[in-house]
Amino acid sequence: MSLPHITLQNFDPTTLQIGDVVCIRIDNFVFNKVAKATLSWTNHVGIIVGFKDHEYWVAESTIPFSKIIPLSKFIARSKEGSFTILRLKKPISHDQKIKIMHAARKKMSILYDTGFNLYSKGQFCSRFVYEIIKEVTGIEVGEVENFRALLRKNPEYGLNFWRIWFLGFIPWKRLTVTPASLFNSDQLDLIYDYRYQETI
Whether residue 190 is predicted with pLDDT greater than 90 in this model: the reply is yes
Average pLDDT over residues 62-70: 95
Pick from 124, 125, 149, 137: which is nearest to 187 by CA? Answer: 137
Query: What is the per-residue pLDDT for 153?
Result: 85
Which one is the CATH code of 8-199: 1.10.287.130, 1.10.10.10, 3.30.70.1350, 3.90.1720.10? Answer: 3.90.1720.10
Question: What is the model's pTM?
Answer: 0.90
Whether residue 79 is predicted with pLDDT greater than 70 in this model: the reply is yes
Q: How far is CA 92 from CA 86, 89, 106, 107, in A?
A: 13, 9, 20, 21
Mean pLDDT of the chain: 89
Whether residue 96 is predicted with pLDDT greater than 60 in this model: the reply is yes
Domain boundaries, the chain: 8-199
pLDDT digits 0-9 by tens, 115-148: 999 999 999 999 999 999 999 999 999 999 999 9
Average pLDDT over residues 102-121: 96
Pick from 119, 130, 118, 7: which is nearest to 60 by CA? Answer: 130
Average pLDDT over residues 56-74: 95
Work out the pLDDT band at 200, boundaries 50, 70, 90.
Answer: very low
DSSP string, 51-93: EETTEEEEEE--SSB-EEEEHHHHHHTEEEEEEEEEEESSPPP
Work out the pLDDT band at 30, boundaries 50, 70, 90.
Answer: confident
Work out the pLDDT band at 6, boundaries 50, 70, 90.
Answer: very low
Whether residue 31 is predicted with pLDDT greater than 90 in this model: the reply is no
